[in-house]
């Protein structure tokens, strides 16, 4: 993977700077600020329904911030879909095949290693979806994919890709895995979280590959949306 094939649609320097400034806000501060806002307004966050509503606001704010920060990059990326539509479609389809094949193997290996181990992130989403299905569906299918792909594939993968393709795959995938389990540190034993993080490796690799193949961020965005849609559909 060391041979570098340049991505033609890139972020501006301003988008990269604002993007990196927003990342710690997104990861650490945004959820806390919104929770405090809910508390001051007297809105419930202690129940699953309250948590789902809080997550819905988080999804919406994060989506709007993403569109504002990366608007030029997204505009150029959307134009690329039209110019290379069949390549875009092929990247999405092959990326999905890659993802589901990898996920089938990793899930089997994890369950063989630790029988009965439950994915705490999936369980949390499932519980909230049962209380507010449309909020969680809109958030996970329509809003979250664009925000996460702009960070992990757009900002991180693309930024590293021009220097070292292997590092781009490795670090963007590692970050994607960690962010899906980091919120449960202190609630679940670290070894279990480390094992569960492995389940996100196929997604990290397949989404990055689809981005590289199609040369537009909307390939992994669409993939991510379809994966989440199928996952949340099984809860209904």
Domain membership flag for residue 180:
yes
Selection from 153, 163, 165 nearest residue 215 by Cα: 153
- Dump pLDDT digits (tens) for 202-232: 999 999 999 999 999 999 999 999 999 998 8
Helix (H, G, I), strand (E, B) or coil at 114: coil
In the chain, the number of structural domains is: 1
- Whether the pLDDT of residue 184 is over 80: the answer is yes
Instruction: For residue 28, give the DSSP letter.
Output: I
Domain membership flag for residue 8:
no
Helix (H, G, I), strand (E, B) or coil at 185: strand
- Whether the pLDDT of residue 165 is over 60: the answer is yes
Domain membership flag for residue 147:
yes
Domain membership flag for residue 49:
yes
- Whether the pLDDT of residue 32 is over 50: the answer is yes
Domain membership flag for residue 176:
yes
Domain membership flag for residue 55:
yes
Q: What is the mean pLDDT of residues 46-57?
A: 91
pLDDT of residue 82: 93
Could you tell me if 172 and 152 are in contact, meaning their C-beta atoms sit under 8 angstroms apart? yes
- Dump pLDDT digits (tens) for 96-139: 999 999 999 999 999 898 888 888 988 888 888 888 889 999 99
pTM: 0.93
- Whether the pLDDT of residue 234 is over 80: the answer is no
pLDDT of residue 129: 85
Residues of the chain above pLDDT 70, percent: 97
Reading the block at residue 18, the tokens are: 């604002």
Domain membership flag for residue 41:
yes
Selection from 202, 203, 4, 220 nearest residue 91 by Cα: 220
Domain membership flag for residue 7:
no
Domain span at 70: 13-233
Q: How confident is the model at residue 5 (pLDDT cuts 50, 70, 90)?
A: low
CA–CA separation, 136 and 59 (whole Å): 9
pLDDT of residue 230: 93
């Amino acid at each position: 993977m060391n041979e570098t094939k340049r991505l033609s649609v890139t972020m501006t320097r301003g988008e990269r700077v604002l993007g990196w400034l927003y990342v710690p806000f997104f990861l650490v501060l945004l959820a806390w600020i919104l929770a405090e806002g809910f508390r001051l307004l007297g809105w419930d966050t202690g129940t699953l329904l309250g948590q789902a509503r809080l997550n819905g606001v988080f999804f919406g704010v994060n989506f709007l911030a993403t569109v504002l920060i990366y608007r030029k990059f997204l505009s150029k990326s959307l134009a690329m879909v039209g110019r290379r539509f069949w390549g875009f479609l092929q990247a999405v389809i092959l990326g999905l095949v890659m993802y589901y094949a990898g996920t089938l193997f990793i899930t089997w290996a994890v369950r063989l290693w630790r029988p009965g181990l439950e994915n705490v992130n999936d369980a949390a989403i499932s519980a909230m979806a049962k209380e507010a299905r449309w909020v969680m569906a809109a958030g996970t299918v329509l809003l979250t994919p664009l925000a996460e792909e702009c960070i992990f594939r757009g900002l991180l993968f693309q930024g590293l890709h021009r220097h070292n393709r292997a590092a781009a795959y490795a670090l963007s995938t590692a970050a994607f895995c960690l962010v899906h389990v980091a919120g449960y540190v202190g609630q679940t034993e670290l070894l279990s979280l480390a094992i569960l993080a492995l389940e996100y490796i196929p997604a990290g690799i397949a989404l990055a590959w689809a981005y590289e193949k199609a040369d537009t961020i909307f390939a992994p965005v669409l993939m991510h949306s379809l994966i989440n849609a199928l996952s949340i559909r099984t809860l209904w």
